[in-house]
Every structure is written in structure tokens, then in C-alpha cells.
Chain A
């Protein structure tokens, strides 16, 4: 059974600081997704990582994938208040389970002035 673990689960940051959220998964996959969720809202797609070594960047967020280590990271650069949200990674195990995403627990990010 595929398991996906994120850490930390809670992250309180000061504006302007950098930090990284980690996403580990238990079985082979080359398809990993990052989503953002604001309180009371649905999931917004941030990144799709489809191969070993993939790196994607959008604004202050950068995501990477190491399929050999079964690890993805979401790096936050010079955090701003607008980045406060819950961030989820999700893994598609593929094969007969294609399309079935297994999500991490989510990381609640709060950015303080």
C-alpha cells in the first residue's frame, strides 16, 4: 500500500524567510503533484512532477522530485503572507492504480509579518 508522508505538518514562518516542506512516499512512482488549499476552499494545482530530477518553479515556490529517494521537496523563498495555506503532495502509483492519488497529510503554513 502506498503511503505518503509530509513534514513538517505545521510550519510557522516569518515573512522573508526560506523553508522547505518534504514529501516522502513508500513505493515507486514518477508522478507527483503539489496542491494548495486555502481555508474553506478546494484544491488548487501548483506543480506536476513527472520524472526523476524534475524541477518546477512558480514565483516564490520551487518543487523538485527525486524518484530514487522517493522524495519531493517544496521550497519557499522569501515567504510572504499570501503564501499562508495548506500544502498537499499527492502521488499517483500508476499501473492499475493510474489516476488514484494518494495524498500526504498536508502542511499548514502560516506566514507572520
Chain B
């Protein structure tokens, strides 16, 4: 079946602009995760959704970052007033929603802030 998909695959934006990144999880997966991968910080957890609720937002780096999930499926990560340090690969993952499960990762969105 289809895996996790993300769009856009690449995004170049100017400092100060807002960007939206989209994630389509594997059908039927209730848990959805956002991570960020950058050269300086490695792989970092951002936020976790169970259904439409976000019980853990602890990884969001600032209030410029927000995320939502609708219909228990698609999720959008929004970065407002982008800064150059936001440049990274943003990875989305999903899992069926039970403990001790593998998280399946999407291909990522490569964000470059000029």
C-alpha cells in the first residue's frame, strides 16, 4: 500500500515568509509525528498527534511553529515568519497508534530559508 507522503518535496522561501508543510499518513494510522533533521541538531522530535489531538508539543522550537491534524488524517505544519535557522528537512512519520510500534517515515520536505 501507499506509504507516508509529504508535500512539497522542496521549498525555498525568503526570510520572514510563512510556509505550510503537508503530511499524508498511511491510511488507518492514528498516530502521526513530525521531526526535523538538520546538520547542526540531528534528528529532533517536534510534535505528536493521536487522532486529531496533540498530547505532546514539547519539541516545537518556538511559537512560530504550529501544527494541526484534521479528520484524523492529513497534518499541516506551519512555520510563521521563517528564519534561516529553520532550514532543515522536515520529516513526518505515522504508526497504527499502539505502543511499541515502528514509525514509518515519509520522504521529507527540504526547506531552505534565504
Contact = CB atoms under 8 A, between A and B. Distances in A.
Contact of A42 (B33, B48, B108): B108
Contacts, number: 54
Interface size grouping (class) on chain B: 20 to 34
B56 A97 contact: yes
Interface in B23-65: 31, 33, 35, 42-45, 48, 50, 56, 58-59
Interface residues of A, number: 24
B43 A103 contact: yes
Nearest to A50: B100
Contact of B107 (A33, A42, A94, A97): A42
Interface in A1-47: 31, 33, 35, 41-45
A100 B59 contact: yes
